[in-house]
Amino acid sequence: MDIDAVKRRRKELQDKINRNSSIWKPPIGKSKVRILPSKINPANPFIEIWWHWRIGNNSVICLKNNYGEKCPICEFASDLWKSDSKEDKETAKKLFANLRFYVPVAVRGAEQEGPKYWGIGQTVYDTLTTALEDSELGDFTDIASGRDVDIVVKAASETGKTYNSISAKFSYSNTVLHHDEVIIKKLLEEQKTVQELFPKPTFESCHELLEKWLNPTTEVVTDEEAATSEEGTTRHESHSSDVAPAESAGDDELSQRFAKLFKQKEKDS
């Protein structure tokens, strides 16, 4: 037995559990949160993360849009988009990166658990930020006189859609963040960084993920983010906001084009 390998794997699993516990997803029904002043960027609590969303049962953050680096998924999607084939363009839409916003929050009734990150799509983001045009709203993150956010989530089975519907609006009254100074300190100081929440992937790991999607053999463990499906996600380069997740391709022609594309890039480099 490789004891070091077992220890490394245990640490990887524990790190993933810790990351997932910091991501909050509103349950079906009503809930309430308070957006916190950001420890990471005091000027703007909303963090922008671009994702390649649900490639098979997996999601991965985009190297190109988040870090300005080469991304094999973006390169393959762009190559498909240049095709005259309608099918290729549809596949490209599924592969293009999507924008999602993450904001630190205190979940009302569970403030003692510390800060969470709430992942929202473009629709909720626009609703919350557009409200700033109301001069009476003020700084909704203010710990002494901010505003809570009231959230309602309706199940897909209730609305007839393929995803849960979410609405959010600021409460009418101003409230304090909390009356316990210890809890306030915890909420403000224990916010994780983006790198802690979503470790940066390598070019090779993104390449391998795409390759497995093109040549499906066994399923890879699903990331918690991959299961998230809500309205209002912005799709990079795509002109459609109603595109199905990129399920397993299993297409020999696509697989061959993928291999040819990166074989050519290796020659050019």
pLDDT digits (tens, 9 = 90+) for 146-173: 999 999 999 999 989 888 999 999 999 9
The mean pLDDT value for 202-213 works out to: 92
| DSSP β-bridge partners for residue 164 | 230
pLDDT for 34 beyond 90: yes
- Quick one: pLDDT at residue 141? 97
237: left (phi over 0), alpha (psi -120 to 50) or beta: left
The mean pLDDT value for 2-21 works out to: 64
- Quick one: pLDDT at residue 10? 67
**Above pLDDT 70, what percent of the chain?**
74
* Residue 244 banded pLDDT, cuts 50, 70, 90: very low
pLDDT for 219 beyond 90: no
- Quick one: pLDDT at residue 9? 67
Closest to 106 (Cα-Cα) out of 211, 184, 47, 201: 184
- CA 67, CA 164: separation in Å to the nearest integer? 30
* Residue 46 banded pLDDT, cuts 50, 70, 90: very high
Mean pLDDT of the chain, nearest integer: 83
- Quick one: pLDDT at residue 269? 56
pLDDT for 215 beyond 90: no
pLDDT for 201 beyond 70: yes
The CATH code of the domain at 23-268 is 3.90.198.10
The mean pLDDT value for 76-94 works out to: 93
The mean pLDDT value for 223-248 works out to: 43
- CA 132, CA 136: separation in Å to the nearest integer? 9
pLDDT for 210 beyond 60: yes
- CA 200, CA 128: separation in Å to the nearest integer? 28
- Quick one: pLDDT at residue 19? 53
Parse the chain into domains and list their residue ranges.
Answer: 23-268
pLDDT for 218 beyond 80: no
The mean pLDDT value for 124-135 works out to: 92
- What is the Cα Rg of the chain in Å? 21
Query: 84 vs 30, 62, 87, 107, 180, CA distance in Å?
Result: 46, 25, 9, 48, 62
Instruction: Judge whether 37 and 45 are in contact, CB under 8 Å.
Output: yes
The mean pLDDT value for 206-226 works out to: 68
